[in-house]
Every structure is written in structure tokens, then in C-alpha cells.
């Protein structure tokens, strides 16, 4: 692989020649109102290096529209009389749920952002709706690998919500019980932590695609809880 060294966004970075050609083609296109540049995270790699993390599949607008027509999703109607604050923090507004709201989980090198987003948002909403009496992480492992056979290969935005509504979701936290909830839940995420934005401070995790964080294949849907779970599946 050949690379060129260029300065972009004020930082000198080695940019893969194919990526550089793509950037230049965008810059040379008439009418483009933004300026293409290389992200330091993927600069040295060929275009497509981030594909495994782009797990939301197409046609999601059609899926949501179909859900609206079925009555499963309701359109939000803006109330012009509501005074919107300048800033809003869910963890501050619902301190009884701050622990689960602040638990941002790691999808490893797996394109299951669609499942993590749904499982984490549902965990937050469950806590808020019960005023903190049900504060536990719903399992991205369950949602990613039971709601959709593609798993790490991507999914639709509405898939986790349909799965949770129709089948429910077991509890489960981060890889090997890391994170604020620790161990004891049914199905923790089974793929290892990776760092996603370069090493940060004392971050001990490997980078995506490096030894210890390979491109992930989808595990099977968990049908039983882990050995350290405090309750049955």
C-alpha cells in the first residue's frame, strides 16, 4: 500500500492514495458546498475501512412508514407553546436513572450499532417509565443476534423495537461484565472491547482490525443465560 502525507484539518496525516483520490474528486465536483477531508481515524486506510461499523441498512424510511401505517409508531406533533430549554441532560433530569443513561456500551468491531442504539435507549426508557424501579441494561447481545440473522452484518432502525415489543429482551451488560453494572446479568456482549478513536489515556484496548479486535462474525442467538447470571433465561 502506498500513501501520501498531506495536511488536513490542521493535522499532518498519511492518507491512502485511493482515499486521497476520492477526496480530490469530491473537491473538484462543481456545486459541492462542503469540503472533503480525511478523518484521522481512517486516513491511512483505503475507502471502505469503516464499512463494518456502518450497520444500519437501507430502506429504513419505508420500514418506519409501514410501522406508522400499522399503528406501531406514532408521528411526533410539535407543540409550539412548549418552552424548549437551551440545554438538556437526561441523566440530570432523571437522576434516578443516571447510571443506565450514562452506560454507553462498546459494539466491538461489529456492525450492530442498530441493536446497541435500540437496546440502550429501551433500557433508559424502561428506567424512566418506572421511576428507577427497573434500572438494568437490556442485552445488545440478545437484540443484535436474536432480532436479526445478519447480526454484525447490519440491521434496520426499527428492528430492535419490533423485537423488544414482540419477544422482549433479556438483561445483559458489557463484555465480561465490565461497565457500571458489572456481572450477573443474563447475556453480556460476547465480543471484546476495542478502541475506536485511537488510544485515549490509559485505554488498554486494541484497535479495530488489530490482534485482539478482529472483524467480528455474528455469534448465535443466546438461548440460555451465562454461567454467572443470577437468574435463568
From first to last of its 233 residues, what are the pLDDT tens digits of the chain?
444 444 444 444 589 999 999 999 999 999 999 999 988 878 888 887 777 666 666 677 887 888 889 888 888 888 888 888 999 999 999 999 999 999 999 999 888 889 999 999 999 999 999 999 999 999 999 999 999 888 888 888 888 998 999 999 999 999 999 999 999 999 999 999 988 766 667 778 887 777 888 777 788 898 889 887 776 66
Eight-class DSSP state of 151: G
> Closest Cα partner for 4 from 37, 49, 43?
43
- Cβ neighbour number for residue 53 with a 10 Å cutoff: 18
Query: How far is the C-alpha of 41 from the C-alpha of 28, rounded, in Å?
Result: 24
Give me the pLDDT at residue 149, please. 83
> Which domains can be identified in the chain, with CATH numbers?
1-49 (no CATH), 51-233 (3.90.70.10)
pTM above 0.95? no
Give me the pLDDT at residue 137, please. 97
Q: Are 167 and 118 in contact (CB under 8 A)?
A: no
Give me the pLDDT at residue 22, please. 92
Give me the pLDDT at residue 1, please. 41
The H-assigned helical ranges of 60-193 are: 60-70, 90-93, 98-101, 113-129, 140-146, 159-167
Give me the pLDDT at residue 58, please. 67
**CB contact set of 63 (below 8 Å; sequence gap of 6+):** 156, 157, 158
Amino acid at each position: 500500500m502506498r500513501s501520501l502525507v498531506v495536511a488536513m484539518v490542521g493535522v499532518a496525516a498519511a492518507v491512502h492514495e485511493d482515499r486521497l483520490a476520492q477526496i480530490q474528486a469530491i473537491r473538484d465536483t462543481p456545486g459541492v458546498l462542503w469540503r472533503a477531508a480525511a478523518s484521522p481515524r481512517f486516513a491511512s486506510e483505503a475507502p471502505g475501512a469503516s464499512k463494518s461499523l456502518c450497520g444500519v441498512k437501507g430502506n429504513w424510511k419505508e420500514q418506519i412508514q409501514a410501522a406508522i401505517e400499522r399503528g406501531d409508531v406514532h408521528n411526533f406533533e410539535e407543540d409550539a407553546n412548549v418552552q424548549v430549554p437551551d440545554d438538556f441532560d437526561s441523566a440530570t433530569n432523571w437522576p434516578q436513572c443516571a447510571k443506565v443513561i450514562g452506560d454507553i456500551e462498546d459494539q466491538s468491531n461489529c456492525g450492530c450499532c442498530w441493536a446497541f442504539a435500540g437496546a440502550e435507549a429501551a433500557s433508559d426508557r424502561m428506567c424512566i417509565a418506572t421511576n428507577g424501579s427497573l434500572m438494568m441494561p437490556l442485552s445488545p447481545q440478545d437484540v443484535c443476534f436474536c432480532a436479526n440473522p445478519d447480526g454484525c452484518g447490519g440491521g434496520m432502525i426499527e428492528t430492535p423495537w419490533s423485537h423488544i415489543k414482540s419477544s422482549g429482551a433479556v438483561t445483559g451488560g458489557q463484555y465480561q461484565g465490565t461497565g457500571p453494572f458489572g456481572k450477573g446479568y443474563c447475556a453480556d456482549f460476547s465480543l471484546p472491547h476495542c478502541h475506536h478513536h485511537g488510544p485515549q489515556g490509559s485505554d488498554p484496548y486494541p484497535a479495530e482490525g488489530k490482534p485482539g479486535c478482529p472483524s467480528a462474525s455474528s455469534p448465535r442467538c443466546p438461548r440460555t443465560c451465562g454461567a454467572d447470571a443470577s437468574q435463568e433465561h
